[in-house]
């Protein structure tokens, strides 16, 4: 049966709230065993890894875990752990490697796990979506999130489901209840219902030639993922930056053909909004996303605002930054007569 271009991607984007709820059910069912695993592991550091989208996920997850738990944590591409283990982790330091892969078959991720088991000290936890794959047979603990399974090549639902699982792990290992995440599916549905029209309008605007996604702290990895989605789906020029770093050179690209998407956080909102306002003054178009309505020095048609109004703590609601950017990338792809289900030159699984 022939389907319209983007049929699967659109379905996967808009089914995310239900997929999040299913993923949280999986994490609740294993909450006690995961707490025990963490307590008994006596880990000195945590290393998240993946490839492509799941590398950006790993970066975001590592920053969040270190921020909330205080343990040394970071994210690296799987190829670095496989090919450069001495710079990736200390061989005698007890480390938890958390390997993330939608398919569970990505060559670099599998070899990273195998290399770590041979050269490192610690345990491996895997996060993936398909039970028959290779990766969920390699970990000390293997978590399967089937609600992240997808037909499309570009990850949307899989990314948010796997990322939410890392947020749940961090929540548990920080001594909190997963009930703190229970409001996310409903917040995600409200977000899609409220802002799909805006995301569609921005995505179909053919005047935009360059896209920049700004995020700092735990949101830099998410900015990277949204930039990747725009690049993959629509074959557009797109890059991620941290807010303040954008002012050191990249701002030279800001003009009326540029859309800058800011993933604004609570603690440093004033600084991050100031960067967006400065870029707007240079002629760039701006989309700002945050928990509450963001106020700019002056309102004009250069600026669009998305406010979550979720009531969820700043550290735990970051998954809400994803859907609007995903819809925008999807719509831009469709506007260019492309098929976001099958981006050019890409395969669902990268094997060497």
Phi, psi of 238 (to 5 degrees): -150, 135
Name the DSSP class of 291. Answer: S
Least confident of 1-5, 197-201, 259-263, 265-269: 1-5
Per-residue buried b or exposed e for 217-243, using 16+ beta carbons within 10 Å of the residue's own CB: bbbbbbbbbbbbbbbbbbebebbbbbb
**Over 60: is that where the pLDDT of 349 sits?**
no
Least confident of 17-21, 178-182, 209-213, 290-294: 290-294
Q: What is the pLDDT of residue 105?
A: 96
**Over 90: is that where the pLDDT of 322 sits?**
yes
Q: How many CA atoms lie within 13 A of 347 on its CB side?
A: 7
Residue spans of beta strands (DSSP E) within the chain: 45-50, 72-77, 95-100, 122-128, 141-144, 210-215, 237-241, 258-263, 285-290, 303-307
Helix (H) or strand (E) holding 47: strand 45-50
The pTM assigned to this predicted structure is 0.96
The whole-angstrom separation of Cα 125 and Cα 144 is: 11
- Helix and strand element counts for the chain (H, E): 12, 10
Q: What is the pLDDT of residues 55-75, one digit of tens each?
A: 999 999 999 999 999 999 999
Q: What are the tokens at 181? A: 């995440």
**Over 70: is that where the pLDDT of 243 sits?**
yes
Q: What is the pLDDT of residue 304?
A: 86
Phi, psi of 97 (to 5 degrees): -95, 120
The whole-angstrom separation of Cα 100 and Cα 199 is: 28
**Over 70: is that where the pLDDT of 301 sits?**
no
Report the percentage of the chain scoring pLDDT > 70: 95
CA 29 to chain centroid: 24
Q: What is the pLDDT of residues 111-167, one digit of tens each?
A: 999 999 999 899 999 999 999 999 999 999 999 999 999 999 999 999 999 999 999
CA–CA distances in Å: residue 195 to residues 148, 200, 254: 23, 9, 25
Domains of the chain as residue ranges with CATH? 7-181 (3.40.50.10490), 184-335 (3.40.50.10490)
**Over 90: is that where the pLDDT of 259 sits?**
yes
Q: What is the pLDDT of residue 67?
A: 96
Name the DSSP class of 308. Answer: -
The whole-angstrom separation of Cα 318 and Cα 314 is: 7
Q: What is the pLDDT of residues 179-207, one digit of tens each?
A: 999 999 999 999 999 999 999 999 999 99
């Amino acid at each position: 049966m022939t389907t319209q271009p983007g049929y699967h991607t659109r379905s996967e984007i808009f089914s995310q709230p239900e997929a999040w709820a299913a993923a949280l059910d999986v994490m609740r069912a294993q909450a006690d065993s995961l707490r025990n695993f963490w307590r008994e592991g006596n880990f000195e550091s945590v290393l998240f890894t993946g490839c492509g989208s799941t590398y950006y996920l790993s970066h975001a997850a590592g920053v969040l875990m270190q921020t909330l738990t205080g343990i040394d944590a970071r994210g690296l591409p799987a190829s670095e752990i496989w090919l450069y283990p001495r710079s990736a982790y200390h061989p005698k330091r007890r480390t938890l490697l958390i390997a993330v892969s939608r398919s569970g078959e990505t060559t670099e991720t599998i070899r990273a796990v195998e290399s770590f088991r041979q050269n490192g000290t610690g345990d491996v936890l895997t996060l993936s979506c398909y039970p028959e794959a290779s990766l969920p047979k390699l970990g000390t603990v293997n978590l399967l999130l089937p609600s992240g399974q997808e037909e499309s090549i570009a990850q949307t639902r899989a990314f948010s489901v796997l990322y939410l699982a890392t947020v749940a792990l961090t929540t548990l290992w920080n001594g909190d209840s997963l009930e703190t995440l229970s409001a996310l599916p409903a917040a995600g549905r409200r977000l899609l219902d409220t802002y799909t029209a805006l995301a569609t309008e921005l995505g179909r605007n053919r005047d935009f030639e360059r896209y920049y996604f700004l995020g700092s702290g735990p949101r830099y990895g998410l900015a990277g993922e949204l930039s990747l989605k725009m690049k993959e789906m629509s074959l557009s020029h797109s890059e991620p930056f941290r807010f303040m770093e954008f002012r050191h050179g990249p701002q030279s690209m800001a003009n009326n053909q540029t859309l800058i998407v800011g993933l604004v956080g609570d603690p440093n909102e004033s600084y991050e909004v100031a960067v967006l306002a400065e870029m707007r003054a240079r002629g760039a178009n701006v989309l700002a996303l945050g928990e509450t309505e963001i106020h700019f020095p002056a309102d004009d048609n250069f600026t669009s605002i998305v406010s979550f109004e979720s009531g969820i703590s700043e550290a735990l609601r970051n998954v809400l930054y994803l859907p609007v950017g995903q819809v925008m990338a999807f719509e831009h792809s469709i506007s260019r007569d492309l098929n976001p289900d099958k981006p050019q030159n890409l395969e669902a699984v990268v094997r060497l």
